[in-house]
Amino acid sequence: MASGAEGGKAPINEQVVANMYTTMRSEMNQIYSKITELEMEVSEHSLVINAIQPLDPSRRCYRMIGGVLVERTIKEVLPAVQRNKEGIEEVITRLNEALQRKKKEITDFEAKYKIRITRSDDEVKGEGARKEGSAQGVLVGPAASIE
């Protein structure tokens, strides 16, 4: 309880710090996944724009609006698709800015609480075993001295 009285700003214990850090990393991963999703949408919009741009503007085309397929002309659809693409690109820009802020926040948090990022135990053990394994193949001396 004494640490609770001390810690107005600082988290109470390691578990709270770890939970906060995990939450921050999770938020950063969510931003990454949203950016990836939106970049795929921009790519799809680009494909549509490239496909319909060279066509006759008075030609019929179909567009999905709110789950309803509507018939329009290319002249009406092309500007709307381009506006949507630009809007998505703006959102991606804002998300990239938010991602940079979140990265800085995580870096500051790591520095404040002296958090070091280590790989999962399996990865670290796997790499250590490989290094030791290659070294054991070279060091034959201890086995010979036992005899």
Kindly state the tokens that stand for 16.
């709270």
**Within a domain: residue 46?**
yes
**Within a domain: residue 143?**
no
In angstroms, rounded to a whole number, what is the distance separating the alpha carbons of residues 54 and 75? 11
Kindly state the tokens that stand for 86.
């630009």
What lies within 8 Å, CB to CB, of 65 at 6+ separation is: none
**Within a domain: residue 128?**
no
pLDDT at position 134 is: 47
pLDDT at position 98 is: 97
**Within a domain: residue 101?**
yes
**Within a domain: residue 120?**
no
CATH number at residue 87: 1.10.287.370
> Total domain count for the chain?
1
Q: Which domain holds residue 38?
A: 14-113
pLDDT at position 127 is: 58
Determine which helix (DSSP H) or strand (DSSP E) holds 90, and give its type and residue range. Answer: helix 74-112
pLDDT at position 117 is: 80
Mean pLDDT, 10 residues at a time, the chain of 147 residues:
48 83 96 98 97 96 94 96 98 98 94 83 57 45 44
The pTM score is: 0.71
**Within a domain: residue 142?**
no
In angstroms, rounded to a whole number, what is the distance separating the alpha carbons of residues 88 and 23? 26
**Within a domain: residue 30?**
yes
**Within a domain: residue 108?**
yes
Closest CA to 75 of 93, 94, 56: 56
